[in-house]
Structure 1
Amino acid sequence: MSWKTETVPGTDGLVCSIDRLASEAGTAVLRAGGNAVDAAIATSAALAVTAPHMCGLGGDLFALVGGPGTGSAEPLVLNSSGRAGSGADPDRMRAEGHRTMPLVADVRSAPVPGCVDGWVTLHGRLGRLPLADVLAPAVELAEAGFPTSPLLAAALPRLAGVTGCDELVRSGVAEGDLLLRPGPARMLRAVAAEGRDGFYGGEFGERLLEVGAGEYLPEDLARSQAEWVDGLALDVWGHRVWTVPPNSQGYLGLAGAGIAERLGLPADPDDGAWAHATVEAARLAGFDRPQRLFDGADGAALIAAGRLDERAAMFDPERPARLGDRYRAGGTIYLCATDADGMGVSLIQSNAKGFGCHVAVPGTGVLLHNRGLGFSLEDGHPAEYRPGRRPPHTLAPALVTRPDGSLRAVLGTMGGDSQTQVLLQMLARLLVAGQDPGTLLSAPRWVLAVDEGTGFNVWERPDTHRVRIEEHAPASWRAGLEQRGHEVETAGRDLVGFGHAHLIELPLDGPARGAADPRALVGACSAG
């Protein structure tokens, strides 16, 4: 099957997300006088209600904000990913026989959630409307109910046996059924009334300490997880592309684009050589990620010109690069929003894998993420699971500016390790092929895969990659890749494996234009 989405113009602002109801929540806030930040928070909060299989108040958040109204010549970058609690003990994990962090059923894979701190911090610096007004659409969805989306209905059976999820796992929830979320509604009202203290210092915080059983201490919750950081940027294809620095893996998207620029991409993305070059650019950028990405890693060094030159020199136009001797052995939503003044927000919010670690905070309706799966249990590893550390993160939102500093686009995707691979393809289609948002997001994609993949272990064995391509990819992709020695798999109907990406572009000669990913089925780009 092929995907098709239309480019939507929007003079008074646009909001793109995986859920029409959430996009409409954002545009309602725009029409009420809010700015792009207000709209992004409103959309994010609505998704925490309608898409608990992908994000929620128990997850993390990153954001970039650019354009007029920021008070800054450069984009503002917020890292609101949570830190491991004071009880984090890697020796105990190893003594229990763990070699990697547990994926589910273990609260130790849940750092302190950063999502709510992200909302409050973004709003406190850049919001225009009262926070209660911004969160009101999400509260209404939670209290009045909303029709269960196809992807949520398909995912809900995975919560069978998980305690504390009664509002989600009542029998007979099917696509289109009305679903109410009283727990998140109560949590959102507490945030609206008291800010972060209403959440981390209120019912949620009290119950989190209980379910953590020593993993967290009150001082862990008293410390904000949100932090303004310097953006990481690379000049590529006549523009500057921005992302969040480590602990985000965003540097891989920049490095992949820098390598691809050095290789020289064919003008036509349907060319098999284009597929080979972009696949190899991603592989050459990311093969040593397990050793290089950790909280505090030097992002600028990871995208330095000399390093990218060396990676590009490893490219072979006729076969995949051999990487084995060069290294040692989702549930996420992306959204973007703009307003009539030209401010743009690129925001990503995540549980990590599906419903997170399958641990609910009792009585709140909030499931905890499992972003701690990014930690290492190798003794002495720079990303070792330790108190106060942030885990390596797959979340990688992006923002593009022109040479004069004006905002060109906000873009990103969900997709675990594949996020930066999809981002590379989006950047190449936007900045090299000149495609409009609808064409770009309807186009076929490739992602790297490994056997027994979790979506978060692609870089553990970089010489065993398969290239998965969507079934509507041109025949030249498969032929060109196989001729060059890649193992290629044509995927069937896959609603999540190739990302849910969105993009809003701000042309110099016309209104903003955007599109939402059709793979989300109920996604929408909504005009303010």
Structure 2
Amino acid sequence: MDHPPMEIRSTHHYPSRRSAVLADNLVSASQPLAAQAGLAMLAKGGNAVDAAIATAIALTLVEPTGNGVGSDTFAIVWDGSELHGLNASGRSPAGWTPERFAGHDAMPFRGWESVTVPGAVSAWVALSKRFGKLPFADLFKPTIDYAENGFLVSPVIAALWSRAEAQLADHPGFTEAFLPKGRAPKAGERFFNKPLAKTLQSIAETDGASFYEGALAEQICAFAKEHGAALTTQDMKAHEADWCGTISKSFGQCTLHEIPPNGQGIAALSALGILSHTGIRDLDADDPQAFHLQIEAMKLALRDAEAYVADPGHMSAVSADDLLDDTYLASRAALIDATRAQDFGAGAPKNGGTVYLTAADASGMMVSFIQSNYAGFGSGVVVPGTGISLQNRGAGFSLDPDSPNLVGPNKRPFHTIIPGFLMGPDGPLMSFGVMGGPMQAQGHLQMVLRTQIWGQDPQMAVDAPRWRVTEGLGIACEDTMPRATLDALAGLGHQISLEAPDNAFGFGGAQLIHRLPGGGYAAGSDPRKDGLAIGF
């Protein structure tokens, strides 16, 4: 079956009543004030990279539940002629030997022992230096203003903030920074973060140098030492963001690009490659059999990612090329039974849950950008007087001595956050992402198929009910999914749990910008979040 062209719909197929936003210059993000910070850069004559960075900076303030200055970042940029992939994830401290965690059953999930070097600031610097048009300091102005003068907390973020109140109140620096009245701010309350304003001003004035080898680095590491943590100024100074390119897999006329490991984007590519060996093209978007094939392909892909993906320097047994080999993926596809769900194990390819934003401009530049603290508020550690909340990416390491993802010094952990980018035969098609931990690769697969096989516009694809593989035969489904579909999946042996669409990060938050054949773009923004797509 040929892929139908994407059609901009005026009728609404799914519960959201939003329409796709059409414009020549666009930003789509999970918080309105952040999206407008990016749009302001476009209005000043900046490009999509300037808009993306300004939006990302703003999100550290207005959506602290998902990211902060102490986050990691990945990005894919279409510069008008080629794709560029950036890995700005941080490495572990030099003192993180496996012996340091002896006696633990798993890596610590919160606190200082989960904190790796933050990479987000290095991403802002690297992207601005290579592609930006506006002065770096200009990108910080909207956020500094909101931090100093306050902003009104939006509803979804307020709900997530309140959940962290009891969990993180006793973590170093958290109450001072994020519970100013002894509680989380409510929706519509004004929140100030003047320490973060000072931090952002310092980063802006020094092109990020203060964060990695100046006063801010010293404050971060002094606080680490005070709490017996391993992070040092040498660890901070040694950090570098890497221009890593992309890995890809084709499906019909389109090609999905992802960042190479240490991220889980390869799982989306594997699942897409597996599905290319099935009859999914002949099914309708909401056919239970289409869901079944996607779920089974995703289970196969995730099992392999869990077993083999790590810092690429430590993937000695199995490489990304091995996992994406078409013969291997065909053999994985052959395991799918159209009549029943299965609990798959990892394969043998060498045998013989964040914030996401996207921006595009009239010149043709498109940016797919993801930034995350991992868990809500990350480690829960906030450096006093700075507003810097630190990620808990160290929790992504394994303590299994046979795992390529075994914790070790100066090593990148397995990462869940992934930006996605679709190319077509005539150039770029879509910059997109779906934040939300293990939902991300699964969300990428669902967005690609809905827009490219079934011709849904970005907002319709975002609105559609989602599913998520859990464990064994388990799948979580949004309770907006039709009962007949759920009954059909249960009849195939899927063990279904129902969740509301607004279940924290459960089904993710998608943002999509799709290029239109005649010029300009169509964008969609997830109604499960506070955000919007906005443009001119």
Using structure 2 for the length normalisation, give the TM-score: 0.91
Give the C-alpha shift of residue 164 in structure 1.
1.5
2:194 pairs with 1:187: no
How far apart are the structure 1 equivalents of 2:17 and 2:436? Answer: 19
Give the C-alpha shift of residue 348 in structure 1.
0.4
Letter in 2 for 1:110: V
Letter in 2 for 1:316: D
Q: How many residues align?
A: 502
Which residues of structure 1 form unaligned runs of 5+? 451-463
Q: Which moved more, 1:28-37 or 1:207-216?
A: 207-216
CA contact (8 A) 1:334 1:412 kept: yes
Deviation string for 1:202-251 (max 9, x for gaps)? 33211221232251232221123311012101111211111100001101
How far apart are the structure 2 equivalents of 1:35 and 1:343? Answer: 7
Which residues of structure 2 form unaligned runs of 5+? 1-13
Identity of matched residues, % = 36
Letter in 1 for 2:138: D
Match of 1:288 among 297, 301, 304: 304
How far apart are the structure 2 equivalents of 1:15 and 1:305? Answer: 35
Give the C-alpha shift of residue 428 in structure 1.
0.5
CA contact (8 A) 2:275 2:297 kept: yes
Question: Could you list the runs of 4 or more consecutive aligned residues of structure 1 that deviate by over 6 angstroms after TM superposition?
Answer: none
CA contact (8 A) 2:304 2:346 kept: no
Give the C-alpha shift of residue 113 in structure 1.
0.2
Letter in 1 for 2:484: S
CA contact (8 A) 1:350 1:369 kept: yes
CA contact (8 A) 2:341 2:473 kept: no
Letter in 2 for 1:101: M
Deviation string for 1:108-130 (max 9, x for gaps)? 21110000001001111001000
2:384 pairs with 1:362: yes
Give the C-alpha shift of residue 196 in structure 1.
1.9
2:281 pairs with 1:250: no
CA contact (8 A) 1:167 1:180 kept: no
For 1:490-501, what aligned pairs fall within 5 Å after superposition?
Answer: 490-496=498-504, 497-501=506-510
2:14 pairs with 1:9: no
How far apart are the structure 2 equivalents of 1:372 and 1:151? Answer: 27
SS of the equivalent of 1:373 reads helix
SS of the equivalent of 1:501 reads strand
Structure-2 residue corresponding to 1:519 = 528
CA contact (8 A) 1:239 1:403 kept: yes
SS of the equivalent of 1:288 reads helix
Match of 2:177 among 164, 167, 170: 167
Deviation string for 1:373-424 (max 9, x for gaps)? 11111225321111110000011111111124x1111011111111111110
Match of 1:300 among 309, 315, 321: 321
* Structure 1 pair 380–262 and aligned structure 2 pair: CA distance change class (3 A): closer
Structure-1 residue corresponding to 2:373 = 351
CA contact (8 A) 1:256 1:281 kept: yes
For 1:62-81, what aligned pairs fall within 5 Å after superposition?
Answer: 62-68=74-80, 73-81=81-89
For 1:311-390, what aligned pairs fall within 5 Å after superposition?
Answer: 311-324=332-345, 330=353, 332-390=354-412
How far apart are the structure 1 equivalents of 2:518 and 2:129? Answer: 33
CA contact (8 A) 2:417 2:435 kept: yes
Structure-1 residue corresponding to 2:8 = none
Match of 1:435 among 456, 462, 466: 456
SS of the equivalent of 2:438 reads helix
Structure-1 residue corresponding to 2:210 = 198
2:41 pairs with 1:29: yes
How far apart are the structure 1 equivalents of 2:284 and 2:371? Answer: 33
Structure-1 residue corresponding to 2:479 = 471
Structure-2 residue corresponding to 1:109 = 114
Structure-1 residue corresponding to 2:6 = none
SS of the equivalent of 2:417 reads coil
Letter in 1 for 2:321: A
Using structure 1 for the length normalisation, give the TM-score: 0.92
How far apart are the structure 2 equivalents of 1:466 and 1:378? Answer: 25
CA contact (8 A) 1:84 1:387 kept: yes
Give the C-alpha shift of residue 483 in structure 1.
1.2
How far apart are the structure 2 equivalents of 1:324 and 1:108? Answer: 31
How far apart are the structure 2 equivalents of 1:233 and 1:61? Answer: 19
Deviation string for 1:462-518 (max 9, x for gaps)? xx2411111111233212211111111222353431000010000112421101101
How far apart are the structure 2 equivalents of 1:478 and 1:320? Answer: 13
Match of 1:89 among 76, 97, 101: 97
Structure-1 residue corresponding to 2:244 = 229
* Structure 1 pair 259–175 and aligned structure 2 pair: CA distance change class (3 A): same
Deviation string for 1:287-346 (max 9, x for gaps)? 13222110014222211111211110111000113424869xx4x001000011111000
SS of the equivalent of 2:198 reads helix
How far apart are the structure 2 equivalents of 1:499 and 1:518? Answer: 11
CA contact (8 A) 2:28 2:525 kept: yes
SS of the equivalent of 1:337 reads strand
How far apart are the structure 2 equivalents of 1:483 and 1:470? Answer: 18
CA contact (8 A) 1:4 1:438 kept: no
CA contact (8 A) 2:117 2:239 kept: no
Structure-2 residue corresponding to 1:149 = 154
Give the C-alpha shift of residue 100 in structure 1.
1.1
How far apart are the structure 1 equivalents of 2:481 and 2:327? Answer: 34
Structure-2 residue corresponding to 1:456 = none
